Structures are given as structure tokens and as C-alpha cells.
């Protein structure tokens, strides 16, 4: 595939509209510099109207020079020894993530359900068959538990003696979670504490299952987090990761990009008053590794029997890995 550089006019438009400065993408990378198919000629670029660019952008593939992730999910080929090969295994800085989710905690639940048309609840329920064993009590760790939706779903569909431990970086999200757990009458089964999943405050071999729902892309050091989760899992224990992804179908991907990178930031910002946060959310999904690469990462971190399932035509993916017995 050929790669083309934007001219300065096109770069400035891209900086403003696609990757605004507030986004925590690679801090030392140049501006996005690749188009596919080829961009308009220089004369057209100088006079390209926002409306024309809007329709053209449905076919744009934006690539960061450093992390090499693209909107269409096609990675740039590099030699194995290239120093940037693992840069996209890093997420935003922990402090930035904490501030961002503190700012949107009050409206996080309602906006998530509304913007996903309620499908996020279906994804959580479908993943339970790989997490919950109703025949026996379990110790389950819900990492990046946020406002507690996943923890509550797990507790309601598991053995009555199952205990769920939630952990999250953001105290504002945990305050919402504790209120919801108390209202549901499940405080004796669900607990929550603030902490960093890259240094979990639990002994080794503590949990039968660990889950991360729509949070792994926000971890600063993802491989460190995977190894730390493996440490606290019991032999034969299982990690289940739910994460958003870019659909493979070209037509669906165009519609997805339109909604995810245009409408969602606008609506989310309008309702929450935190437009930068809802620009970051789609950008973080677009930067997350593809399914094959992520599964290879899980294997490299020590997980066995790594598998994958796609939900809703690939908009959401479930990754499963087990600790060796």
C-alpha cells in the first residue's frame, strides 16, 4: 500500500478535526501522515470544504508515525528489530486517565448505555458464560470496574456465595459504584477499592477469575498489567477481557467511523460538558492492537489457551486466557 504525506494545509485541518492536541496519543509523534486512498491534489486540498472532507474522511486511513496504528486497522509493516514495534502496547499516562474518568463519572453510565443503544449490556451478559460458574462459589476480580456495571452483572448471575472484588484508578467512579451496589443490596458480596492494576494489592493465587470490561486500552503499561493479573489468578484461573474494536467489513467500518469519530464525541461532549474526553474514547479504540496481535501479547505474557470471540460483527471482542495449572 502506498503512503502519502499531507501538505501543511491538510495537516492543520487534521490536527484540529481528527487528532486534537488534547488527545493522549503518542506525544512525540508527528501529525498523522497517511491517506488511503490517495489524497486530493494540492489545488483541491487548498479549497477542500469541510463538507467535502466529511465524506472523504469515511475512506481515510490515519496513521501515527510512531505507533503505526490506523483507523482501518491495517498496521504499517516494519522490521522485527524496529524500536517502535511495542510502542502501541502502551496506553495513556495513568495520571491522565485518572483525571479524564474523574471528569465524566457523573454521566458515564447513562451516556454509555444511550450511545451504545444498550448493546453494551448484551455484551456483558454474553461474556458471563466464560466467567461465572453457578455450581460453586468463586472469587472474581473486576479490574477497571468503573461504576460497577460488570461487577453487579456478575454478582447477579453467579453462585450466592461468589464474591466480587472491584478495583479502579478513579475514586469518582468508585463512589458511583458503591452507591449502586448499596442500592442493589449486594454490599456483602461486592467490594471496591482504588488501586492500580499494574501493582495489584493482592497475594498470588487469590482469584478464580479476573475480568476487564472496556478498560484494557486505557492501561499505561498493558503487558505489565497482564503479568500482574496472571500472578493473582489461581492455577487454572481465567482472564476475560471485553474491548471495543474496529469492524473488519469495509462498509460497516465506514459507518462505524462516522458514528464513533464524529457523532459520539459531539453528543458525549454536549451532554457531559467534557468534549475532550469523548474525543479520547474513540481514539483509544482506534489505537488498540488488532485481535491477532493482542492474542500474541497475552501468550507472550504467560497465558494459555488464548481464544477470541467477536460480538456484533466485530464491534466488540472478548479475549480469554488461562493460567497454567
- Give whole-number Cα distances, 209 to 128, 138, 158, 177, in Å: 11, 8, 12, 20
**Residue 117 Ramachandran class (φ > 0 left, ψ -120 to 50 alpha, else beta):** left
SS3 297: helix
Over residues 186-239, the pLDDT tens digits come to 999 999 999 998 999 999 999 999 999 998 998 989 999 999 999 999 999 999
CA torsion sign for 233, 295, 67, 80 is positive
- Inform me whether the pLDDT recorded for 260 exceeds 60: yes
- Which burial class, exposed, middle or buried, applies to 309 when counting CB atoms under 10 A from its CB (0-12, 13-18, 19+)? middle
Separation of alpha carbons 198 and 152, rounded Å: 23
Residue predicted with more confidence, 57 or 115: 115
Query: Per the confidence metrics, is the pTM higher than 0.75?
Result: no
SS3 246: coil
Q: Quote the DSSP letter at residue 75.
A: P
pLDDT at 310: 95
Give me the pLDDT at residue 49, please. 41
The answer to whether residue 94 scores a pLDDT higher than 80 is no
Q: Which of 306, 243, 292 is nearest to 73 (CA)?
A: 292
Alpha helices in the chain, H assignment, sequence order: 8-17, 42-47, 50-56, 94-104, 108-115, 119-127, 149-156, 171-183, 222-232, 250-258, 264-272, 275-287, 291-300
- Closest of 24, 15, 69, 13 to residue 276, by C-alpha: 24
Range with the poorest average pLDDT among 51-65, 88-102, 290-304:
51-65
Residue 237 gets the label, from left (phi > 0), alpha (psi -120 to 50) or beta, of: beta
247 compared with 294, residue with greater pLDDT: 294
- 121 or 27, higher pLDDT: 121
135: burial class by Cβ within 10 Å (0-12, 13-18, 19+)? exposed
CATH topology of domain 94-245+288-322: Rossmann fold (3.40.50)
What's the whole-number average pLDDT of the chain? 75
Q: What is the pLDDT of residue 93?
A: 64
pLDDT for the residue 283: 82
Query: Is the pLDDT reported for residue 33 higher than 60?
Result: no
Domain range summary for the chain, segments of one domain joined by +: 8-88, 94-245+288-322
Q: How confident is the model at residue 36 (pLDDT cuts 50, 70, 90)?
A: very low
Amino acid at each position: 500500500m502506498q503512503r502519502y504525506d499531507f501538505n501543511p494545509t491538510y495537516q492543520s485541518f487534521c490536527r484540529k478535526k481528527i487528532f486534537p492536541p488534547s488527545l493522549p496519543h503518542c506525544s512525540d509523534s508527528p501529525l498523522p501522515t497517511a491517506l488511503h486512498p490517495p489524497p486530493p491534489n494540492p489545488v483541491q486540498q487548498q479549497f477542500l470544504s469541510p463538507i467535502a472532507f466529511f465524506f472523504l474522511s469515511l475512506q481515510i486511513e490515519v496513521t501515527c508515525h510512531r505507533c503505526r496504528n490506523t483507523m482501518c486497522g491495517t498496521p504499517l509493516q516494519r522490521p522485527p528489530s524496529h524500536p517502535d514495534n511495542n510502542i502501541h502496547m502502551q496506553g495513556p499516562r495513568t495520571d491522565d486517565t485518572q483525571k479524564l474518568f474523574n471528569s465524566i463519572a457523573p454521566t458515564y453510565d447513562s451516556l454509555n448505555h444511550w450511545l451504545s443503544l444498550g448493546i453494551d449490556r448484551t455484551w456483558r451478559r454474553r461474556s458471563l458464560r466464560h466467567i461465572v460458574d453457578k455450581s460453586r462459589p468463586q472469587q472474581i476480580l473486576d479490574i477497571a470496574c468503573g461504576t460497577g456495571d460488570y461487577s453487579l452483572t456478575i454478582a447477579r448471575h453467579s453462585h450466592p456465595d461468589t464474591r466480587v472484588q472491584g478495583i479502579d484508578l478513579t475514586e469518582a467512579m468508585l463512589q458511583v459504584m458503591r452507591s449502586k451496589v448499596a442500592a442493589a443490596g449486594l454490599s456483602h458480596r461486592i467490594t471496591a477499592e482504588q488501586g492500580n492494576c499494574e501493582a495489584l494489592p493482592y497475594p498470588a493465587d487469590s482469584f478464580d477469575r479476573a475480568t476487564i470490561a472496556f478498560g484494557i486500552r486505557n492501561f499505561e503499561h498493558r503487558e505489565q498489567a497482564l503479568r500482574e493479573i496472571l500472578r493473582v489468578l489461581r492455577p487454572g484461573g481465567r482472564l476475560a477481557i471485553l474491548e471495543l474494536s474496529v469492524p473488519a467489513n469495509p462498509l460497516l467500518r465506514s459507518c462505524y467511523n462516522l458514528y464513533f469519530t464524529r457523532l459520539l464525541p459531539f453528543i458525549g461532549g454536549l451532554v457531559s460538558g467534557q468534549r475532550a474526553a469523548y474525543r479520547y474514547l474513540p481514539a483509544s479504540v482506534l489505537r488498540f492492537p488488532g485481535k491477532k496481535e493482542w492474542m500474541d501479547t497475552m501468550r507472550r505474557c504467560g497465558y494459555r489457551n488464548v481464544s477470541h470471540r467477536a460480538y456484533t460483527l466485530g464491534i466488540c471482542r472478548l479475549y480469554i486466557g488461562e493460567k497454567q495449572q
